[in-house]
Structure 1
Amino acid sequence: MDSTKDPSSALVLEFKEDPALTEMMRLRVSSLQKSGQKRQEGERLLLPHEAVYRLDFPNQELNFSRWYFSLSGYGRITITGICQLWTPDLTHLMTRQLLEPIGTFWRNAGDPEDSPLKWLEADMQEFGERIAELAKVRKVMYFLFAFKEGAEATNLSCSVEFTVDK
Structure 2
Amino acid sequence: MSLELTFNPDIQLTEMMRLRVQSLQQRGQKRQDGEHLLKSNEHVYRLDFSEQALHFTRWNIRMSAPGRLNIIATSQLWTPDLTHLMTRQLLEPTGLFWKTADDDLIQCYEADAQEFGERIAELAKVRKVMYFLFSFEDGLSPENIECSIEFQK
TM (norm. structure 1) is: 0.89
Contact 1:25/1:88 (CA < 8 Å) preserved in 2?
A: no
1:19-30 → structure 2 map (5 Å cutoff): 19-30=11-22
Counterpart of 1:162?
151
The CA deviation string for residues 26-65 of structure 1, in whole angstroms up to 9 with x for no partner, is 0000000000000000000000011000000001111101
Taking the aligned partners of 1:154 and 1:10, their CA distance within structure 2 comes to: 27
Counterpart of 2:66?
74
Could you tell me which runs of 5 or more consecutive residues in structure 1 were left unpaired when the two chains were aligned. Answer: 1-8
Larger CA Rg, structure 1 vs 2: 1
Counterpart of 1:128?
117
The CA deviation string for residues 85-118 of structure 1, in whole angstroms up to 9 with x for no partner, is 1236241000111110110111124x14xx2011
Q: How far did 1:73 drift?
A: 1.6
Contact 1:24/1:88 (CA < 8 Å) preserved in 2?
A: no
After the TM superposition, which segments of 4 or more aligned residues of structure 1 sit over 6 Å from their partners? none
Instruction: Verify: 1:152 aligned to 2:129, yes or no.
Output: no
1:1-166 → structure 2 map (5 Å cutoff): 9-87=1-79, 89-109=81-101, 111-112=102-103, 115-164=104-153
Tell me how large the CA RMSD over aligned residues is: 1.0
Aligned length: 153
User: Structure 2 counterpart of 1:39, which letter?
Assistant: R
Taking the aligned partners of 1:122 and 1:31, their CA distance within structure 2 comes to: 39
Taking the aligned partners of 2:107 and 2:82, their CA distance within structure 1 comes to: 37
Q: How far did 1:152 drift?
A: 1.1
User: Structure 1 counterpart of 2:136, which letter?
Assistant: F
Could you tell me which runs of 5 or more consecutive residues in structure 2 were left unpaired when the two chains were aligned. Answer: none
